[in-house]
């Protein structure tokens, strides 16, 4: 696919393989259940976002660490097929690739166990070997499925080099104030915003209070995603609610990853923030009408004609 612009995007994050079994009910401790359909999906928040960016026309490089095993080799091949720059994907001979074991029952309830594997071994020393990728990037997108020390190292390095760092703080966990001060933008959902701010979000007013609190901690732009309600944008005491697009949701897996990937693509095209968030809401809306993680990420022409 021909890239629509030249601004370089760097994603630093995780890559997993999701192994899913559908069954009538989730097993109790000690119980063996005969399941039905089994399938494998490529996943991991970093990988999901990198794929979404590439499909939407972004010029993207991906830094991650996989095991020297069949899952790692398959991931590398998939990323290349998606048009992602894989120059900085590291292979770990000591740890396996990250996997998630997922059981889904007849009521769509699930039970998930993640073995982070090589993702947990993506260290600052690896990023020292990827300095060129940071130098070349205009925008750097990260999540929290890799060690926090690595996230903090990249954020500080990028901040010193005057790069725009966007953090999708998922999965939710406390964040150091020093990290927040190195961010250009943060994109928590309600749960993550509550974790960071300590303010329980029950409506738009409390969401604004949480965004204001996070902003005062040093982040220039705060975008709180509110699911079917849309997204709240906060900057310099200005608040805007961007509504979600109404669709029939089938599977919300990776909807947040698609949102973040699309947002960064729009920012790399120098769209204003409101338009960028609308573009991200469109892409995310399309993704929830499809099953799977990376498989649900839309292509650029689909988003351009949507809505």
Active site residues: 257
- Report d(CA 139, CA 124) in Å as an integer: 19
Helices (H), 113-183: 124-128, 131-136, 148-160, 177-180
Would you say 9 and 58 are in contact if contact means Cβ atoms under 8 Å apart? Answer: yes
Query: Residue 72 belongs to what H/E stretch?
Result: helix 70-81
Query: Residue 280 belongs to what H/E stretch?
Result: helix 273-287
Per the structure block, which two tokens stand in for 2?
A: 């021909």
Q: Is 60 helix (H, G, I), strand (E, B) or coil?
A: strand
- Report d(CA 213, CA 168) in Å as an integer: 17
Say which residue the tokens 């769509």 belong to.
108
């Amino acid at each position: 696919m021909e890239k629509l612009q030249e601004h370089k995007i760097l994603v630093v994050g995780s890559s997993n393989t999701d192994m899913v079994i559908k069954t009538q009910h989730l097993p109790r401790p000690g119980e063996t259940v005969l399941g039905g359909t089994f399938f494998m999906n490529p996943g991991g928040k970093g990988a999901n976002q990198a794929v979404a960016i590439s499909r939407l026309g972004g010029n993207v490089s991906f830094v991650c660490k996989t095991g020297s095993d069949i899952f790692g080799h398959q991931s590398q091949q998939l990323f290349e097929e998606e048009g992602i720059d894989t120059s900085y994907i590291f292979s770990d001979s000591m740890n396996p690739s990250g996997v998630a074991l997922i059981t889904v029952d007849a009521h769509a309830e699930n039970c998930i166990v993640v073995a982070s594997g090589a993702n947990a071994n993506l260290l600052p020393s690896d990023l020292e070997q990827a300095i060129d990728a940071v130098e070349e990037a205009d925008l750097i997108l990260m999540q929290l499925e890799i060690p926090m020390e690595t996230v903090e190292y990249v954020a500080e390095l990028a901040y010193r080099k005057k790069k725009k760092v966007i953090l999708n703080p998922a999965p939710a966990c406390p964040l150091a104030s020093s990290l927040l001060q190195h961010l250009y933008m943060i994109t928590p959902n309600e749960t993550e915003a509550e974790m960071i701010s300590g303010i329980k979000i029950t409506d738009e007013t409390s969401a604004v209070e949480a965004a204001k609190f996070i902003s005062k901690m040093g982040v220039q732009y705060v975008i709180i995603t509110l699911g079917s309600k849309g997204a709240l944008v906060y900057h310099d005491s200005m608040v805007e609610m961007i509504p979600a697009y109404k669709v029939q949701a089938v599977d919300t897996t990776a909807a947040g990853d698609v949102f973040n990937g699309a947002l960064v693509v729009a920012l790399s095209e120098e769209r204003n923030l409101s338009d960028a968030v609308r573009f991200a809401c469109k892409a995310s809306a399309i993704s929830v009408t499809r099953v799977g993680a990376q498989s649900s990420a839309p292509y650029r022409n689909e988003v351009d004609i949507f809505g």
